[in-house]
Amino acid sequence: MIASTKTLTETHRRCCYLYNRELISYSLAWDWQKKLLQERIDNPSLHDALILLEHPPVYTLGQGASLDFVKFDIDKSGFEVYRVERGGEVTYHCPGQLVGYPIINLRYYRQDLHWYLRQLEEVLIKVLAVYGLKGDRLNRLTGVWVEGVKVGAIGIKVSRWVTMHGFALNVCPDLTGFEQIVPCGIADKAVGSMAQWIPGIKLEEVRTQLAVAFAEVFRVDFIENQEL
């Protein structure tokens, strides 16, 4: 008998709570993620979750990020800065950027971090395609680019195969905050937004398309959830 190589989600769709939020402080969202993650470590049968939101202006550094990529004095700048447990270098969040935090148990999908990163990229690529934009992957770099300009960043943390942190898609943000850092430690690649190609685009319409793309890529059925 030949053993099946299909993952559980290829034969059974998962249920996933969808939390649609507007502007939430980074610290609150971070604590929320950690709570959801720990609940799923303690009880693996819980449904997955996807949080979609925006943050006020904030800089975050991955656990091993270098301060060489920060162009200001963290202690004297007045900027809100967090060093968190995700991978990757420094990045910037602000209104107009759609941030997604999937809290999912990869034991029900595939226990492969490279696969998971590529799936997150695929979600963003599908969203861009809805608007006629071709999202590209670049060799050995995580994220999504349009015409050589980075519009989607990804940074994750996985504990006991449960994920946290996630992706950020620049829809229509003020990009000047990125001038204070070397985004993701990549000095020779510009950061851009969907609004450069689609003037007037609204984050709320992209939010809807992103949920659709996530459900398609990860084969989940959403349950709208209003609890925080």
- Exposure pattern of 181-191 as b/e (b: 16+ CB <10 Å)? bbbbebeebeb
Tokens of 159: 């504990």
Give how far the C-alpha of residue 188 lies from the chain's centroid of Cα atoms, to the nearest Å. Answer: 22
Edge-to-edge strands of the sheet including 58-61? 81-83, 58-61, 90-93
State whether residue 144 is helix, strand or coil.
strand
Contact by Cβ (8 Å): 152, 167: yes
172 is catalytic: no
Count of positions (residues) in the chain: 228
Task: Pick the catalytic residue from 16, 94, 172, 184.
Answer: 184
CA distances for 199 relative to 98, 101, 108, 113, 173, angstroms: 16, 26, 39, 35, 12
Cα–Cα distance, 150 to 188 (Å, whole number): 11
Residues annotated as catalytic are 184
